[in-house]
């Protein structure tokens, strides 16, 4: 697959996914061949644009295109997009969502993955491939929290005030506070999920301090992270109370894959 990249960008840009871009890069580009891991656009509704790393002007995305490391993608009103990752995981984004690909690395020999998507605003739904078990990492990061998983179905909402909602439908998600310095300057690093053995009682909503914290969110549980980085403890939610167009659409897509 061919990409249009700035003349000044070196080819060490091997493994791929999305994030920051330079506002000072010249807009003149050349066509070069890039090899490495990429995320394929497997569904696109409406209008979705991407700003390639090192470029200023957004370009329209189309079905069958590929997203790479350094890309910043935005969905317009009434638009949605699904990306298939190199480990066969699927991640979808609702209308009026902005996100950046931090990494999309997958080693076919060792079956190790290192995938991180940073949510700036909007809604995402992740169906993480279970075929590789505990190998590698998969994370959705935000300004205040990091949700890292290994084989699960969950969604993340990021509000305009940076409030983060994480809901888990199957499996477990380790949600951690973002490091203070990273939260202020850019996407948070991938955090290792911590596995908790055995069931345990779930307390009601309760804010925790801005110190570092990690929670394991189990099936049919949710957590809210406030704009200041404080979080409620995990609490259950009912499927009957969670039915909306976004949830139904994703559940139907999951059934087809």
Cβ neighbours of 212 (radius 10 Å): 11
pLDDT of residue 108: 82
Question: Which tokens sit at 107?
Answer: 């080693």
Residue 180's φ and ψ, nearest 5 degrees, are -55, -45
Rounded-to-integer distance, Cα 186 and Cα 14, Å: 21
- Residue 175: both structure tokens together: 């949600």
- State the CATH architecture for 2-195+208-256: Sandwich (2.60)
- What pLDDT shows up at residue 176? 94
Q: What does the block give as tokens for 52?
A: 């390639």
Q: What is the pTM of this model?
A: 0.75
In this structure, how many other beta carbons lie within 10 angstroms of the beta carbon of residue 177?
Answer: 23
Torsional sign, CA 234, 172, 213, 222 = negative
Q: Mean pLDDT per 10-residue run, the chain (257 residues)? A: 40 32 33 58 98 91 95 98 94 98 89 92 93 73 90 93 96 86 41 38 50 90 96 94 94 91
At residue 31, the pLDDT reads 30
């Amino acid at each position: 697959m061919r990409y249009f990249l700035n003349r000044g960008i070196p080819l060490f840009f091997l493994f791929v996914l999305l994030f920051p871009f330079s506002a000072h890069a010249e807009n003149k580009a050349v066509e070069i061949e890039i090899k490495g891991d990429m995320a394929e656009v497997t569904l696109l509704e409406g209008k979705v644009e991407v700003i390639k790393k090192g470029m200023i002007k957004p370009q329209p995305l189309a079905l069958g295109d590929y997203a790479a490391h350094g890309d910043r993608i935005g969905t317009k009103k009434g638009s949605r997009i699904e990306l298939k990752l190199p480990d066969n995981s699927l991640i979808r984004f609702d209308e009026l969502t902005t996100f950046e690909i931090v990494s999309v690395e997958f080693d076919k020999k060792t079956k190790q993955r290192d995938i991180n998507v940073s949510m700036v605003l909007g809604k995402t739904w992740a169906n993480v491939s279970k075929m590789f078990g505990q190998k590698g990492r998969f994370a959705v990061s935000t300004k205040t929290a990091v949700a890292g998983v290994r084989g699960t179905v969950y969604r993340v909402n990021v509000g305009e005030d940076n409030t983060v909602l994480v809901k888990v439908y199957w499996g477990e998600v380790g949600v951690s506070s973002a490091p203070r310095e990273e939260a202020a300057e850019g996407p948070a690093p991938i955090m290792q999920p911590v596995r908790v053995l055995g069931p345990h009682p779930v307390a009601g909503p309760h804010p925790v301090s801005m110190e570092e914290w990690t929670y394991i969110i189990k099936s049919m549980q949710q957590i809210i992270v406030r704009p200041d980085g404080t979080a409620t403890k995990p609490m259950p939610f009912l499927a009957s109370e969670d039915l909306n167009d976004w949830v139904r659409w994703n559940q139907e897509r999951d059934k087809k894959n």
